[in-house]
Amino acid sequence: MTEVEKRFLKAQIDEVVLLETVQGTRMFARILIVVDEGETPDLFCLEVEATPTGYVQKGTTGHSILLADIASVQPAPPTDGESS
């Protein structure tokens, strides 16, 4: 993840983004918190999925992902139920 992407990610609290990990996993995630300090900087998020009315939470648990494990972060595309 580039420094620009990291700054973007920190500005996306409670917003949906598209994350890609270094392992190649891609997921839509609602960002809850980004902790960019200490020995293991990470983020906490909820996985979401696109529906015709917007993004909805997928499953009942959140994720903790090390920032070092994130290859890229991009804005999530609007769904049919969201304005662009």
Low-confidence spans in the chain with pLDDT less than 70: 81-84
33 within 8 A of 13, measured Cβ to Cβ: yes
Helix (H) or strand (E) holding 28: strand 26-35
Residue 46 is predicted with a pLDDT of 96
List, for residues 18-34, the tens digit of each pLDDT value: 999 999 999 999 999 99
Residue 8 domain flag: yes
Give the residue among 9, 4, 75, 74 at the shortest CA–CA distance from 36.
9
From the number of C-beta atoms within 10 Å of its C-beta (0-12, 13-18, 19+), residue 14 rates as: exposed
Residue 9 domain flag: yes
Structural domain count of the chain = 1
Residue 69 is predicted with a pLDDT of 96
| C-alpha–C-alpha distance, residues 30 and 76, integer Å | 10
Residue 16 domain flag: yes
| pTM, rounded to two decimals | 0.87
